[in-house]
Amino acid sequence: MTDATTDLLIIGAGPTGLFSAYYGGFRGLRVAVVDSLPELGGQITAMYPEKAILDVAGFPSVKGRDLVEGLVTQAASADPAYFLDRTALTLEHRDDDVVVTLDDDTRIEARAVLITAGIGKFTPRPLPAGEGWLGRGMEFFVPSFAPYAGKDVVIVGGGDSAFDWAQHLEPVARSVTLVHRRDAFRAHERTVAAVKASSVDIVTKAQVTALRGETTLEEVEITVDGQEPQTRPAQAVVAALGFVADLGTIQEWGLETNKRHVCVDGSMRTNLPRVFAAGDITDYPGKVRLIAVGFGEAATAVNNAAVVIDPAAHVFPGHSSEA
C-alpha cells in the first residue's frame, strides 16, 4: 500500500530541491518534496539565514532567508506536496515506479526520484568546554543577529561561518572575540581581511576552556598556548567548529558514491534507474559546489527525468518566457 503517489519525488528541500520543485511544475509534473528538517531551505535556513550570498545570478547580494523565501514562492507554482521533518529510509523499484519509505512509515510512489540532499544530515562538532551550556548562552548557529545586540560575544572557530558571523555581529554586539586554535584560517581571504580590519579581537593558538555563570553565561576562560588562562566577560558563545555530515540511509540504496557524494553523468542520472541527483550531493569530473551550479543541475535533472516519466516528452522544454 502507498500513502502518496507523484510523478517526481525530490529528496531535499534546500535551494536546489526547491528550484527542482518549481521546474517539475513547469514541466507539468506532480511534485512531492521530502526533507528531514522541519523547515524549507536546508542549510541556509538552519545555519545562515542572515548571511549575504553573493554568487547567485541576478542578485549582487541576497540574504539567505530572502533567497529561500523567493524559492519557496517560485516552487508554489508547482503546488508541491511537502513531507517535512521526515527522513527517507528505503528506496525500492517496483515495475516502472520507485517507492520510497519515510521514517514515519509513509510510502511515496513516484515515477522518478531526484536526490537534492546536499551534504545530508549534519551534526555540529561539539565544544568540549560547552557541555551543558547549549541554549543557556552557547549556540552552534546564528539564525538571527538581534538576540546578540549589546552582548559580549565569543566565537570559536576559524572557518567561513565563524568569520561571517564575526563580521555580521561586530556592529550589533558590544564586543566580539574570535578564538581559534591555530594562527591560520580556513575562511575566505576577503572575509578574514574585513574582520581583521574591524574591532573584532582575534585570539589565535587558543581555546575556550571553560564557560561560567550561575543560570546563564557570564564569562569564558580562554587559554592561549604557553600562557595562563584569561577570563573575559561573555553572555554568548557561538561554537562554529563545523559539523559532521552523513548521508544516512541514502548510502544503503545501492547508489554509486565517491566518499560522501553520489556519482552522476551529464544528465544527472545515478547508476540506479529512474533516480537522479543534483546539487552539492553530486560528484563528477570538474564538479564545483555552488548554489548557482545546483540550480543548473536541477534544470538538467528535471528535464531528463521528464522524458523517463513520459517517453513522449522532449528533454528541451522550450523557454519559460514562452509558457
Which residues belong to the annotated binding site for FAD? Answer: 16, 35, 43, 48, 88, 122, 280, 321
Burial status of residue 135 (CB atoms within 10 A of its CB: 0-12, 13-18, 19 or more): exposed
Which residues carry a binding-site annotation? Answer: 16, 35, 43, 48, 88, 122, 280, 321
